[in-house]
Structure 1
Amino acid sequence: MSTDPEHFEEGVEDDEFIDPNDVYIEFADDGDHLMDEDDGADGEQFMGDDGEHQPEESIVYEDNSMQHFPSHNGSVFAIATHPIAPLAASGGEDDLGYIWDYTTGEELVKLTGHTDSVVSTAFSADGEMISTGGMDGKVRVWRRVGKENWNQWEFLTELQGPDEVMWLRWHPKGNVLLAGSNDSTVWLWQLPSGNTMQVLAGHTAPVQCGDFTPDGKRIITADAEGTLIFWDPRNSTPVFKLTPTDVRFDMDGITSLAVNPASTLAVVGGATGSVRVVSLSKGEVVGALGGHKEGESVEAVTFVELAGASTAPSAGGVVVTGATDGKACIWDLGTMRLRTTLEHEDAVTSLLRLPQPKSHLVVSASSDKALRTWDARSGTLVREHKGHQGPILQAALGLGGGVVVSAGDEGVCLVFPTE
């Protein structure tokens, strides 16, 4: 099988890649300490004025959300927002997906056909299609009906191949869909035809994370055994592969990754708190970041744009990593040093960077039931978003970064203003 090359840019000169001078430095923890289990709001909510424990049903939960969507019957695992319209697509434990209006909370379309939990939802770059991926191995795609509004969608096709879908990503410019599978394979389809373009076989464990590079030219994937593979989507042979046999890349499994806007660097998070910086031009590790507690999984990585921090390919940029230790660490990749640390009372599950002109703002979601908007320049808390009664499993930005939409383990999606 081969890729239709029209979906991938040809004849573009290679970006200037960073020159990291092959530096590999392990930076120690900055000395921040985790909160004790008894610290924080969760421990206090159950205490009355007389010091006696209150039954949970008597607790009044704070809720500063703008809107809510309670239609799921079970945990909500996935949330995605439309690139133009005020629509969200959620997927859950009830084997269902929904498209709903996050300004009104109105349910628009029920996305059916799965026989197991829907763990990923994703809108195409132009917003004309929506895909859902399930633990049943199915990838189902719907498309918008007509051009009058965004509220009518029809089922398009079901894509076969994966054993169990781990994640879905659309190409940043074209109608090409990428999926990582529990059976160690990576799938690439062309839409709306549904034709399989590539089956990328090189992993030996569940492919837990992956994406297209921002320039759309390459694919990066990583698995539960700690192997990272960089692909040309037109070729089934890896551009390069990093494995735990390289002691500098022994991460006990990879749980998250992100690529910088210049498509020159990847930051990779591990299952035991390790973070590695990889040069995509050289195919090798160029740095290690040691700010998270050992043994705690790094669940989220995102790049941010800060005034005064160089975004040139030679600088690397600024990245935020979030882990189950409750920390979100902000790193300057030009120096490989920690700028500041953001704190939650439980695991950080999602990190989102607002677009320009507010790209210095980052939203973090946590298992502590709260989301927080931070100024990444200083680490200052801008706003706290409360309303969930269970861990927040995923979040997405909408209205050009004006709102954040969150998916809760208690079965409810909430909408908050980011500022």
Structure 2
Amino acid sequence: PGEGTAAGRAGRSPGGGISDVEREFLEASRHRGRRRSLIARGAIASLTALVLVAAAGAVVALVRGGQASGRAAEAAAQRDQALSRQVAASANAARDTSLGAQLALAAYRLSATPEARGALLGSLSRPAGGRMIGHTAPVQQVAYRRDGRVAVTASGDSTARLWNVTDPLRPASLGVVKGHTGGVAAAAFSPDGRVLATGSADGTARLWDVSDTAAPRALATLKGHEDEVGSLAFSPKGDVLATASRDGSMRLWDVAEPARARQVAVRDQETGPARVAYSPDGSMVALTSAAGTVTLLDVLTPARPASLAVLTSGQGGVRGVTFAPNGLHLATSSGTGAVELWDITAAKLVGTARGHGDPVDDIAFSPDGGVLASASADATVGLWSVADPQAPELVASLAGFPDAVTGVAFSPNGRHLATSSADGIARLWNAADAARVAPRARLARHTGAVGALAIDKAGRVLATASDDRTVRLWDVSDPAVSTPQSTLTGHTGHVTAAAFSPDGRRLLTASLDRTARLWDVADPVAPKQLGTLTGHTDGVRTAAYSADGRMVVTTGRDGRTLLWNVADPAAPQRVAALGQSDARVSAAVFRPDGRVVAVGSGTSSVRLWDVSTPAEPRDLGSFAAHTGGVLDLGFSRDGKKLATASSDGGARLWDVSRPQSPKRLADLPGHTAGVSAVAFGPDDRTLVTASRDATLRIWNVVTPARPALWAVFSGRDVVRDVEFGPDGTVLASASGTAAQLWGLNVEQAAANVCEASGTSITRAEWSRYVPGRPYAPPCTAD
């Protein structure tokens, strides 16, 4: 123990502390601890850095992924917009209005571009017929069964097709008549609907049992003609069939027993082709010839037809013939496009309907005899009011065909019209009211170009001013119906302008006959001239009322802008001339408060005048509005903005709240020809520009400095004038020889497309017009 004690003492420090060994051990331990701490801290720092790097990478990746996704979405949207515009252009160009309407809806659903929206809204202004698709060659004729539930179409594909038209919006294919060795040119049902007669290019007529419309059965073949049988008609009793051929002959057949039909008479002519029609009482047959004659035959004894009278047309060969339901009149059509009406009793021509530009191959009376439909090679169907046979008047024109119209037939109840066309499609049209063929009417009874229009404050009467030297008043309280009320006559030159007084009781018109005239139109059916404004030494270009209706401003070719007091319309008085003569003065309008007049000039300038004291107008200054001439201008309802239209293809918005210092707010680009007219909507939130490029562009101007294009309407004629209705739901434009009403309700337009178009767009059509997208017809059967 002593040694141990000595040894222990040797290892300690003086004073009894820890030994050197212990101290070394403790130092080593502390060193290792510090080292472990440093390593741990380094590891943690490294891990933290790695986590931060990873997180940053994830954020970067997420941001880049979002950016890439955003770019992809933007690219997809741009592709949709481009395709939408392309499809909308096809919709506007399509002469088949049913196809065009469906393409417009498809374009809008791809992307709601202004072009697609305009194409869709434009479909409200174009009649569309429900399509019956199935033939593979031109459809030559169409006919209804007497009960109106079934129709037949005859085609150059050597077949006739039966259709269920109980629901005219959704015609359904039934049976197909096959057996002819040439194209089928004519078809007619027997009065009881159980037998169908067909005429063919193979020189035969055939009878078919169609009591089962799904399975037509051949009954008999009628031989004897030497060329195409292009016309046939059953007698009202159904026991005799008349057939007419290109060989010029007519044959009568006893078909009382269809399976044993036999010829009972033949009538030869030197010239063909011939057409044939039975009178409503069955006593007469009308037989036409290429020589321009119509022979009326007594067929009370079918075996011995006897000539009663011969009508000679002045239009050359007669291509179509039909009796009026009352049996007193006969209608014929010709190669000149004219349709003639004849008094059968007097055997004389009583009226002629002119309007088609190409031959009319078929005609049909409505069951009540009030309307005559004409099918023309000019790709239109004319609907004529023949209440007065001596003065037939065009009520409406159906222009939804890409090719010649070959046949027409009214349904027995008169509510629908079936048509056949060389494009291989038959169509069904709503004809319950001949004046109501589309949701927005076309007002088309002028014989010259319509250059100006106006709508009264109530939105019930529209005035159209025409180069035919007349102004017509129309009831547009129902925008689907074109109802003429009266015609204002008296001007001896083109009528260039029309404007209603603020209360709608008077109308101001201007003419190239150097006058403006005032009319009492309180009763639009019986307008009366009140007074004449004389003072211009050349034609009057424009005329406008002040807000209180007491003042009028006119511009003339003589370069003068004149102010008139019309408080007494029977004795209008010239008050003042605004400035020096400007041979290029183009238009003048009052600010809504009547205190300022804006005058536009072909020199590209606009000059503002203070007319608060009319006899002493004060020049407020002028500004260069465009690089081209100013063609039209219009104030906003609040009077703070002015829109200008120019021959340079531009339109502009100006801040004129301080007339002495107008400021340009925005350009309205896009037109490719001169802008002929501008008009603000009633709430100042919308502006429309009309152009010689045949388009209308509608702008959202809620923020005037940043106008946004909302819709583009495309037409086929130069647009000369445009106006909004007072509630902003209807737009009217002047182009060609008519005024057109336009709808602005997208939902209504979309619903109308699928109500009126019949058979959906086919897969082949979809592939052609909507390339690269899965077949998705916008209208499908329920």
- TM-score w.r.t. the length of structure 1 is 0.65
Match of 2:385 in 1: none
**Cα distance between partner residues in 2 of 1:277 and 1:186:** 23
Match of 2:619 in 1: 238
Aligned amino acid, residue 254 of structure 1: V
**Cα distance between partner residues in 2 of 1:252 and 1:43:** 34
**Greater C-alpha radius of gyration:** 2
Aligned amino acid, residue 323 of structure 1: S
Deviates more, 1:112-121 or 1:364-373: 364-373
**Cα distance between partner residues in 1 of 2:443 and 2:664:** 44
1:138 counterpart = 2:512:
no
Aligned amino acid, residue 498 of structure 2: T
- CA change 1:84–1:231 in 2 (3 A) is same
Given that 1:185 and 1:202 are in contact with CA atoms closer than 8 Å, whether structure 2 keeps it comes out as yes
Given that 2:380 and 2:399 are in contact with CA atoms closer than 8 Å, whether structure 1 keeps it comes out as no
Per-residue deviation at 1:211? Answer: 1.1
Aligned amino acid, residue 278 of structure 1: W
Give matches, 1:273-352, under 5 Å: 273-280=649-656, 281=658, 282-293=660-671, 295-304=672-681, 318-325=686-693, 326-332=695-701, 334=703, 336-346=705-715, 349-352=720-723
Per-residue deviation at 1:165? Answer: 1.5
Of structures 1 and 2, the one scoring higher in RCO (CA 8 A, sep 6+) is 1
**Cα distance between partner residues in 1 of 2:459 and 2:641:** 32
**Cα distance between partner residues in 2 of 1:90 and 1:367:** 11
Given that 2:454 and 2:723 are in contact with CA atoms closer than 8 Å, whether structure 1 keeps it comes out as no
1:374 counterpart = 2:744:
yes
**Cα distance between partner residues in 2 of 1:34 and 1:298:** 22
Which residue, 544, 549, 556 being the options, matches 1:174? 549
Which residue, 44, 51, 59 being the options, matches 2:95? 44
Question: How many positions carry a matched residue from both structures?
Answer: 330
Given that 2:698 and 2:710 are in contact with CA atoms closer than 8 Å, whether structure 1 keeps it comes out as yes
Which of the two has greater helix per residue?
Answer: 2
Given that 1:270 and 1:297 are in contact with CA atoms closer than 8 Å, whether structure 2 keeps it comes out as yes
- CA change 1:261–1:102 in 2 (3 A) is closer
Given that 2:516 and 2:534 are in contact with CA atoms closer than 8 Å, whether structure 1 keeps it comes out as yes
Identify unmatched segments of 5+ residues in structure 2.
Answer: 1-80, 100-132, 139-375, 382-397, 401-436, 753-782
Map Cα deviations across residues 133-162 of structure 1 (whole Å, 9 max, x no partner): 1111111223368xxx56444332221122
Given that 1:274 and 1:288 are in contact with CA atoms closer than 8 Å, whether structure 2 keeps it comes out as no
Identify unmatched segments of 5+ residues in structure 1.
Answer: 1-30, 244-248, 312-316, 387-419
Per-residue deviation at 1:107? Answer: 6.0
SS at match of 1:211: strand
**Cα distance between partner residues in 1 of 2:747 and 2:556:** 37
Match of 2:298 in 1: none
1:211 counterpart = 2:589:
yes
Per-residue deviation at 1:213? Answer: 0.7
Deviates more, 1:120-129 or 1:325-334: 325-334
Match of 1:410 in 2: none
Identity %: 19
Per-residue deviation at 1:41? Answer: 4.4
Match of 1:118 in 2: 495
CA RMSD, aligned part only? 4.0
1:129 counterpart = 2:479:
no
1:96 counterpart = 2:473:
no
Match of 1:61 in 2: 399
**Cα distance between partner residues in 1 of 2:460 and 2:670:** 36
Aligned amino acid, residue 291 of structure 1: P
**Cα distance between partner residues in 2 of 1:174 and 1:331:** 30
- CA change 1:337–1:82 in 2 (3 A) is closer
Aligned amino acid, residue 189 of structure 1: W
**Cα distance between partner residues in 2 of 1:289 and 1:100:** 35
Map Cα deviations across residues 322-350 of structure 1 (whole Å, 9 max, x no partner): 43443514143636224233122345554
- CA change 1:51–1:241 in 2 (3 A) is farther
Given that 1:89 and 1:100 are in contact with CA atoms closer than 8 Å, whether structure 2 keeps it comes out as yes
Per-residue deviation at 1:276? Answer: 2.7
Aligned amino acid, residue 214 of structure 1: P
**Cα distance between partner residues in 1 of 2:652 and 2:440:** 38
Aligned amino acid, residue 699 of structure 2: I
SS at match of 1:201: coil
Per-residue deviation at 1:42? Answer: 4.3
Given that 1:210 and 1:222 are in contact with CA atoms closer than 8 Å, whether structure 2 keeps it comes out as yes
**Cα distance between partner residues in 1 of 2:443 and 2:573:** 34
- CA change 1:333–1:267 in 2 (3 A) is farther
- CA change 1:200–1:36 in 2 (3 A) is farther
- CA change 1:175–1:383 in 2 (3 A) is farther
Per-residue deviation at 1:79? Answer: 3.1
Per-residue deviation at 1:219? Answer: 0.9
- TM-score w.r.t. the length of structure 2 is 0.37
Aligned amino acid, residue 44 of structure 1: R
**Cα distance between partner residues in 2 of 1:34 and 1:184:** 43
